[in-house]
Structures are given as structure tokens and as C-alpha cells.
Amino acid sequence: MITAAAIKRMMARYIRWRGLPKTPRHSPLRKPTPWPPIICMACCTPNPTEAPNAHPLITLNPPIQQADGIAITWQYSDSEGDASTVDLYWTDFQWTFLTPIPDANDLPASAGSFLWNQDLPEDYASRRIYIHAVIRDHNSYLVGRATTDHPVLVLADCSDVIQYNLALPGDFNQDCYVNIDDLVHWTEDWLTNYDPSASGSGITGSWNFREDLSFAANPNGPWSYGASPHAAPPAAPVTTTFYPYNSSFTESGSGAPWWHYDSSHPFYSSAIVPCLYYNNTSGSVYGCPAGMAALHSGITSGSEAIAVVRWIAPASGTIQISGTFYAGNSGRCDYYVIYNQIMVLISELDTYNQFSFSLNINVSTGDTLDFGVGAGTDGGSADTTPLEVEIAAPTCAGLGDYLKTDINQDCIINLKDFWIFAEQYLNYNNPQDSDCSLMGP
């Protein structure tokens, strides 16, 4: 049994060891010295000048059954470019979970592939086996992980190869051979240039709703700010009636610049919604973070108004539109992108979640694009919705849809593609070919 005297002796030894003064006397005039806290010294003191090392990331391609085993391939990245290693496991998510694959530990991540040909499960061809990878850079405390989306693929013929997007880059006619037939196909596209910048489109430059925002003029270049009465049902709004805001002011509570209506306007409301404002403060303004611009729906004379930001095409051509309606405040809202005031390109109804969009469309000079926020089913309170919109002529990379013969995806068919094709020439990956190797020539 530990006695009070024993505890006192232990405390005295502790004090001598720490080199601290003995237990002070307690008195109303003398504040008791607290017991020294257990302080974790250098181990837990972060160095603010030292950036944390990020763990590497890995993605696995579908594992493929070959005649000599299972081909496992991957891509990886590490923010600091650290040399990384990969450990591989297999699982069927039922009876076996994360069993190490023989000789598949500490693999150089840069290798990008591993052929599993030892101790394969007897029934692996019919059993749905997934591959799991753990990647570490030996600097970060954390590891990256990934599991294949597909179980091991057993490719019976070329159609399976095509189905799983495993066609060789130079196999333009998708017959699982890279040969003279593909060369003929490639020459037909020789020097084709489909980069949007080469199309002579009248759309040049780019526009950003928040960066272009002005409280001095409305309209402001191609932008105008206002509201439209909501047409029922919410899924089919029209903005043919559009009232531009005619009053800008500094809101007394927040100090933020604001667009609304003067008191003579039928959409005027003492609640100053519908509106558009920019948060130029360092804190949140009604749910709009600092540095962002927000729309707020409104209820005017008992009916809903959609807060609208309108962009009018200054020229004809293809444009790429991208942006996000952010969650903002707590109210439910309807989000819209409306073309020429009647065609709803995008709608997300009665939500308080963030919603992003991206699309390409052709416009003619004078066409309108409206980005709108409606009130949702819970009325027009607490509907602040920060908005980001970017409009620009599409780039080659923004197309995301390339000709097969454009192997390097730079929107022109030229010698750069030919060199890649030449490296692929006479390769094949037809599973029905007895000499086929699906990992290479």
C-alpha cells in the first residue's frame, strides 16, 4: 500500500531531480507554485519556417491478367519529388483482406508496374480480386493509398481491350495492332489544326465576374447586375424581365459595397434584397467570406425575385463557362445558368450545397448568359450565395475531346505525334494473339 509518507518522499525526489524549489508554503499572500506541467520539448514544437512534407499520391490502373501473371500498373506523384516506394496487396473484400503480394514491397514507385506471377490464388481468374497499393516517401509521416476500381480483368479479345480503354496510343482504328492501317489513318489527319485559337473565333480574352465587379456602373462592360421576377415553376425560370439595380451604396452594418434598388423601384425592399455585394472586409458578411462577391435572392410584393448577374456576348464564337455557386448562408436556394433568358443550361434547385459547373457553348454577339440565385422552398431569408464565374474562349486543354491521331493532345496533328506513333509501330495488345503481351511490345 502506498502511504502518504511514501508519496511525500517521491515528490521530494522529483523536485530534487527537476532542480525546482521545494514545495512553497501556501498563504493568502503567496500564490502557490503549481506543479510543473509535463512539457513535451523539442519533439512537439513546430518549426513555422519548415513546410510539412506531403505524402505521395498513387492511382492504380485496372490489373490485367496475362499469360505469365497479373500486370499491375500505376501513376504517382509527390509534391516534393521525393523518391517513393510502393507496397502491393490483394483483397477480395470477402475472405481475404490486404494480403501482401509476394516480392511486391518497397518497389520503386518510378517503375510504374509490377508483374505478379508468384503464389497467385488458385481461382484468381474467376475470383474478383482487387489490388491495393500503399506508397510512402520516407519523409512524410503519412502514406498514400489506392485500391483498383476494377477486379483483375480477364481480357478475352480485342473488344475487351477497347471496352476498358486499353487501346495502344497509335492504334487509331482500334484493332489492337499498330500497323500500316493506322499510319494511313494518321496521314489523313496530317496537319489538322483544331486548336480554338486557330479557328478565327471572334471571342478573345476572358471575363471574371468577381474581378470585373464594379459598383460605379451598371451595366459594367459586358456585365450587368439586377433581378428578375421568378416564373413558376422554379424548374423553368425565365429572365426576359430583368431589372438592373439602380442604387449602389455602402451597407451601414458591414461597410461592404452593395447593389440594390432605390426606394422608387417596384423591387425596392427595406431588407435590401434581392442584391449583389462584395465582401471587402476581413470577416464574413451574412455568410459571404472575405474577398468574395455574393448574390441574394429576394421576395418582393409577395413573389420571389431571382438575383441575376448577366453577361452579354461582345462577339460571336465558342466560349467556355465555369464557376461555382457556394453554400454561403443557411437558406435553401435555386441556382441557374440561363442562355438567352429562356434556355436553362444548368439548374440546381432547392439546395444549400456548393455547386460547380463547366460547359462550352457557341454564342452570337448580343446573346445573354444569366447566372441566377432563386429563393428555394424556404423563402428569401439567409440566401447569400457567393458566386465565381469565369468566361473565356476555350483552350485546347479546355476542350477535353481530342482526335485519336493527336497523340500528344496539343490540338494539331504533326511530327510530334508521328514520333510517338513510330515508337508504337508494330506493337499490339490483342489478347487472342499468342505472342501478345499487354504490358508492351
334 binds Ca ion (CB under 5 A): no
Q: For Ca ion, give the closer residue by CB, 256 or 299.
A: 299
**Among 247, 254, 408, 430, interactor with Ca ion by CB under 5 A:** 408
Burial 169-201 (b: 16+ CB within 10 A, else e): bbbbeebbbbbeebeeebeebeeeebebeeeeb
By rule CB under 5 A, what string of x and - marks binding of each residue 54-93 to Ca ion? x-----------------------x-x-x-----------
Whether 243 contacts 265, CB under 8 Å = yes
Q: Give the orientation angle of helix 180-188 with respect to helix 415-424, to 10 degrees.
A: 170
388 binds Ca ion (CB under 5 A): no
Whether 160 contacts 431, CB under 8 Å = yes
| Distance of alpha carbon 431 from alpha carbon 441, whole angstroms | 13
Q: For residue 34, is the peptide bond before it cis, meaning its omega torsion is within 30 degrees of 0?
A: no
Q: For Ca ion, give the closer residue by CB, 178 or 319.
A: 178
Q: For Ca ion, give the closer residue by CB, 181 or 262.
A: 181
By rule CB under 5 A, what string of x and - marks binding of each residue 117-146 to Ca ion? --------------------x---------
53 binds Ca ion (CB under 5 A): yes
173 binds Ca ion (CB under 5 A): yes
CB of 367 to Ca ion, least distance (A): 29
State phi, psi for 368 to the nearest 5 degrees: -115, 145
Q: For Ca ion, give the closer residue by CB, 169 or 202.
A: 169
211 binds Ca ion (CB under 5 A): no
304 binds Ca ion (CB under 5 A): no
**The one segment of 123-131, 257-265, 336-344, 373-381 that binds Ca ion by CB under 5 A:** 373-381
182 binds Ca ion (CB under 5 A): yes
332 binds Ca ion (CB under 5 A): yes
Residue 95: count of CB within 10 angstroms of its CB: 8
The helix (run of H) or strand (run of E) holding residue 318 is strand 317-325
CB of 176 to Ca ion, least distance (A): 7
Q: Which of 313, 337, 318, 314 is nearest to 394 (CA)?
A: 318
The helix (run of H) or strand (run of E) holding residue 209 is helix 209-212
CB of 175 to Ca ion, least distance (A): 4
427 binds Ca ion (CB under 5 A): no
Q: For Ca ion, give the closer residue by CB, 103 or 410.
A: 410
Q: For Ca ion, give the closer residue by CB, 175 or 390.
A: 175
SS (H, E, C) 243-288: EECCEEEECCCCCCEEEECCCCCCCCCCCCCCEEEECCCCCCECCE
CB of 306 to Ca ion, least distance (A): 12
Q: For Ca ion, give the closer residue by CB, 129 or 334.
A: 334
Going 93 to 99 to 105 to 107, the CA torsion angle's sign is negative
**Among 63, 376, 394, 431, interactor with Ca ion by CB under 5 A:** 376
Amino acid present at 337:
V
171 binds Ca ion (CB under 5 A): yes
Q: Which residues contact 6 (CB under 8 A, 6 or more apart)?
A: none
| Distance of alpha carbon 153 from alpha carbon 297, whole angstroms | 51
394 binds Ca ion (CB under 5 A): no
310 binds Ca ion (CB under 5 A): no
| Distance of alpha carbon 309 from alpha carbon 286, whole angstroms | 19
417 binds Ca ion (CB under 5 A): yes
Q: For Ca ion, give the closer residue by CB, 296 or 310.
A: 296
406 binds Ca ion (CB under 5 A): yes
**The one segment of 90-98, 168-176, 351-359, 385-393 that binds Ca ion by CB under 5 A:** 168-176
**Among 70, 294, 375, 393, interactor with Ca ion by CB under 5 A:** 375
Q: For Ca ion, give the closer residue by CB, 80 or 423.
A: 80
Q: What angle do CA 182, 187, 189 make, to 5 degrees?
A: 105
Q: Which residues contact 258 (CB under 8 A, 6 or more apart)?
A: 215, 248, 249, 250, 251, 272, 275, 276, 277
**The one segment of 124-132, 164-172, 251-259, 423-431 that binds Ca ion by CB under 5 A:** 164-172
Closest residue to Ca ion, based on beta-carbon distance: 331
193 binds Ca ion (CB under 5 A): no
DSSP letter for 55, please.
P
- Cell 497499393 appears where? 133
**The one segment of 332-340, 343-351, 356-364, 385-393 that binds Ca ion by CB under 5 A:** 332-340
Question: Under the rule (CB under 5 A), what is the footprint of Ca ion?
Answer: 53-54, 78, 80, 82, 137, 171, 173, 175, 177, 182, 331-332, 375-376, 378, 383, 406, 408, 410, 417
